[in-house]
Structure 1
Amino acid sequence: MKSARLWGTWGKRLLVFPPIILAIIAYAWLVKHSPPLAMHAEEEASRMLETIVVERMDVRPMVSGFGTAKYARSWRAVTQVEGRIRKIHPELRAGSRIQDAELLLEIDDSDYQSRVDELNAAIDRQNAEIEQLKQSLLNNQKKLALENEVLEILQREFDREQTLLSQQAGSGSSFDAKRRELLAQVNAVQDLGNSIALIKPQTKALQAGLRQSEVQKEQALRDIERTKITAPFDMLVGSVQLEVGQFVSVGEQLFVGYSGTEMEVEVQLPLQDIHRLFVSESGDVEPRQTLTPETFRKMFQFDALVKVNGTNSTESYHGRFLRVREIVDTQTKMVGFVVGVENVSPPEQKTPQPPLLEGAFCDVDIFGTPLPDQVVIPRRAIRNDSVYLVDDQNRLTQKNIRLTFAQDDYAVVASGLDDGETLVIVNPSPAIIGMLVTPIQSHEDAKKLIASVIAGDDALNAGDDALIAGDDALIAGDDALRTDTETPLPKTDRQD
């Protein structure tokens, strides 16, 4: 009974092994008789990247900045004489335009005219005294000649009396009388000589006084000229508070005049950006010993485009680089570039344009010398002084480049890149050198690059065209006026 129970327990446990043994036999048979594994090559994935073809273009360096317009020439009318104002130009009012050499105001010159008359009388008197001294000199010289002859006669008579006295043939009293006559004559001759000698310094003193009077007369005449104040150039008048009869003193400021056609804008430019303007000039700079102001102006004839900031106006003014300020601002590290602008007068304008006035805050673009045939790429394609390219096998490559300069949305490449290469303009993150790339030409980015390069030149050329058109219109107007002048009038008009 007990053995039957034990056998039943172990018998159930042994039933597990047959399935396991059968599974092992089946697995061994399948491994031995299974077909070999097939090898399939995996296809390489390709990245799609936006690209453009590198091209060469003509580039013009440009630097932009801001500045405030002011008049290039200003003139402060300051009185050099005192007196009452006798006459004032009818247009001498704030904002008026007055032509060159027009009489602005006149101060009463009666006192200065009287001074001239007084000095003329003094000069006449001194001339008469000099003539009198000259005549006295001639008279004394003639008289001296006669007195010398008398002296010779008396000297001979005295010598005879002395001989007779030595021979004891004459008297002492006669000898003494002759000697007294001789001494008296010698004294007379000496007096005449002294008088003649004194005439020369007296003449010099009178001549010195005469020159002093003439200088005072010249001063008085200059004072008379200073009573009339004329315009030194075509000017725009500032504030004026003058009336006829008003007394003005020496050194008093009357008004200020400005050259309304010549304006200057001092543009503050970043020091690190100025080098772009000098890229084309760096190889032609003369040695320091021969770099004169004239050669400096010839080397750096930069054009400029001036726009008034803060308005909705699209008016632009053509400008010209004039000079560089002498210092760098210690706080902003900016350099002042002075740009000159000439306001075109209304008759010379093809289309009406308001003048550039003092105090206008301006946006100024300064253009350097054009650089022909340059490799130009978008700035956003540069990655740490290198760019990504697509080679002939459509594989991603990388090149280090060196830039000439970068401005706005583009950069000019000095070395490391040539035209015709396919440039990746987006960041291929992650960038794996050698990976397969499907280049997608971005025509939109290529157009934007070209537009960015030529935008400045187009604006500058538009300003030049407007200026030339104004000159053509002025010439045409002159020709028309000349034609009208040469055309004979009708008979009735000539009779009138």
Structure 2
Amino acid sequence: MFARWSAGTGRPSTLDRGERCLRSKAEGRIKKIHPDLSAGSRIQADEVLLEIDDSDYQSRVEELDAAIDQQNAEIEQLEQSIANNEKKLALENQMLEILQREFDREQTLLSRRAGSNASIDEKRRELLTQEKAVQELKNSIALITPQIKAIRAAARQSEVQKDQALRDIERTKIAALFDMRVGSVQLEVGQYVGVGEELFVAYSGTEMEVEVQLPLQVIHRLFVSVVGDFEARQNLTPESFREMFQFEAIVNVAGTESTESYRGRFLRVREVVDSQTKMVGFVVGVDNVLPPQQERPQPPLLEGAFCDVDIFGEPLPNQVVIPRRTIHSNSVYLVDEENRLAKQSIQVQLTQDDYAVVASGLEGGETLVIANPSPAIIGMLVTPIQSEEETEKLATSVNRADNALPSTAQTPLPQSK
């Protein structure tokens, strides 16, 4: 048999997704507003909603362009200075070689007693003066290189500031990020807005979220049919975690006579257990189908509505299901092949409404005692009476959750045994 069951009805929750508060990322005065930017209007994605005066940002870009041009000119000037000094250094090195040779000749003459000490001292002074000039040129070239690096760094900083200013210019045009329904808005041309200031509220008409509260003791029912198929993992990814909760949800607006139902899907689990109610918040996603795609007219699920949410777990194939009242301290009474009373220990996988799904102890096909025998003497002869009414009642209880789904989600179920 199949067993499809309802995990319970969540308490009314507020739709908390689809609303987006649009804030300004630039500052200035509003110079243009979309003609349909008013409460209740629908605006398509990528349409420009409003424009902020970008003259201050344009002036900033021009100012930074001028600073970058000046910095590049300074770099060219310093690079030319290096080139000039290198040419001059080459000449000074040639002069240094000449003076070195003259000084060497004077030393040779002095060693042969053909020169004077005064003459060699004069050549030494000229040589030292030339060496000083060469060293000064080298020092000048060495000092110019860090200056160029500093100006290039300043130029890169100016480029970054210019890019920021250009991005700010782009931010002065605020476009719709998605097909939206406009909420509260109070804007007018000439109004000054600052960075981070709330401009208006927009709603996505297609994606909504509902948080439903479920008791801790019933959460295991949502993945009891699939948990055995997953290996133990130290780190569950969001995708694998969603696979473990492959349940269906039906969302109905609470407090109305409407019979409209909206199909939901599991998105995530809240991070903490409510300290007062001891319940866990499950977030269910609902897609509002656009009117052109609807098979029949259906109103959208709107922000702020309170909802009743029914959660339906995955089908459990080939399960043994028994009435809950037949369980006595993890045991049931059976009638064996000799029509004698027997007692069998069982393990219950889950309980739902007035029935229980047996994990072990029963294989199916046994004759189950549904009336409490008194006295219950194991081995005594009994005369079993087949109860078709109890069998139908059990099958009806098991199939009740499945029949609660819309007709498009129903699966024909065989009768329970």
Q: TM-score, normalised by structure 1?
A: 0.72
Query: Which residue of the other structure, out of 350, 363, 384, is the alignment partner of 2:295?
Result: 350
Q: CA deviation at 1:174?
A: 6.4
Q: CA deviation at 1:147?
A: 2.3
Cα distance 1:194–1:388, how it changes in 2: closer, same or farther (>3 A)?
A: closer
Query: Which residue of the other structure, out of 142, 149, 169, is the alignment partner of 1:197?
Result: 142
Give the distance between the partners of 1:203 and 1:356, measured in 2 at CA.
Answer: 64
CA contact (8 A) 2:96 2:130 kept: yes
Q: CA deviation at 1:348?
A: 1.0
Query: Which residue of the other structure, out of 124, 146, 154, is the alignment partner of 2:69?
Result: 124
Cα distance 1:390–1:222, how it changes in 2: closer, same or farther (>3 A)?
A: same
SS in 2 for 1:340: strand
Give the distance between the partners of 2:391 and 2:116, measured in 1 at CA.
Answer: 141
Task: State the Cα deviation string for residues 393-451 of structure 1 (Å, max 9, x = none).
Answer: 9x8957556433222243334435843636546x78x77776976947454x5444333
CA contact (8 A) 1:302 1:369 kept: yes
Cα distance 1:385–1:309, how it changes in 2: closer, same or farther (>3 A)?
A: farther
Question: Is it true that 1:89 corresponds to 2:6 in the alignment?
Answer: no
CA contact (8 A) 1:71 1:260 kept: no
Larger Rg: 1
Amino acid at match of 2:150: A
Give the distance between the partners of 1:387 and 1:161, measured in 2 at CA.
Answer: 127
Cα distance 1:243–1:386, how it changes in 2: closer, same or farther (>3 A)?
A: same
Give the distance between the partners of 2:332 and 2:365, measured in 1 at CA.
Answer: 14
Q: CA deviation at 1:152?
A: 2.7
Q: CA deviation at 1:161?
A: 5.1
Give the distance between the partners of 1:289 and 1:381, measured in 2 at CA.
Answer: 40
Query: Which residue of the other structure, out of 212, 230, 233, is the alignment partner of 1:267?
Result: 212
Cα distance 1:436–1:169, how it changes in 2: closer, same or farther (>3 A)?
A: closer
Query: Which residue of the other structure, out of 330, 344, 365, is the alignment partner of 1:419?
Result: 365
Task: State the Cα deviation string for residues 251-280 of structure 1 (Å, max 9, x = none).
Answer: 212123333211222111122222222322
CA contact (8 A) 2:16 2:304 kept: no
Amino acid at match of 1:254: L
Aligned ranges 1:39-438 → 2 under 5 Å: 57-64=1-8, 65-160=10-105, 181-289=126-234, 291-379=236-324, 397=341, 399=343, 402=346, 403-414=348-359, 415-416=361-362, 418-419=364-365, 421=367, 424=370
SS in 2 for 1:213: helix
Task: State the Cα deviation string for residues 226-275 of structure 1 (Å, max 9, x = none).
Answer: 21222233333331111111101122121233332112221111222222
Cα distance 1:351–1:173, how it changes in 2: closer, same or farther (>3 A)?
A: same
| Structure ranking higher in helix proportion | 1
Cα distance 1:351–1:149, how it changes in 2: closer, same or farther (>3 A)?
A: same
Cα distance 1:309–1:377, how it changes in 2: closer, same or farther (>3 A)?
A: farther
Give the distance between the partners of 2:344 and 2:128, measured in 1 at CA.
Answer: 119
Q: CA deviation at 1:145?
A: 1.3
Structure 2: any 5+ residue segments left out of the alignment?
Answer: 411-417
Cα distance 1:423–1:174, how it changes in 2: closer, same or farther (>3 A)?
A: closer
Larger deviation: 81-90 or 146-155?
146-155
Q: CA deviation at 1:351?
A: 0.9
Q: CA deviation at 1:59?
A: 0.3
Task: State the Cα deviation string for residues 185-233 of structure 1 (Å, max 9, x = none).
Answer: 4443333333222221221222122112112111211211221222233
Give the distance between the partners of 2:179 and 2:134, measured in 1 at CA.
Answer: 73
CA contact (8 A) 1:401 1:417 kept: no
Identity rate, percent: 65
CA contact (8 A) 1:71 1:258 kept: no
Task: State the Cα deviation string for residues 446-486 of structure 1 (Å, max 9, x = none).
Answer: 44433332232233352548xxxxxxxxxxxxxxxxxxxxx
Larger deviation: 163-172 or 113-122?
163-172
Amino acid at match of 1:357: L
Cα distance 1:450–1:140, how it changes in 2: closer, same or farther (>3 A)?
A: same
Amino acid at match of 2:197: E
CA contact (8 A) 1:329 1:335 kept: yes
SS in 1 for 2:200: strand
SS in 2 for 1:315: coil
| Paired positions, count | 405
CA contact (8 A) 1:268 1:337 kept: yes
Amino acid at match of 1:139: N
Q: CA deviation at 1:116?
A: 0.5
Amino acid at match of 2:151: L
Give the distance between the partners of 2:160 and 2:221, measured in 1 at CA.
Answer: 59
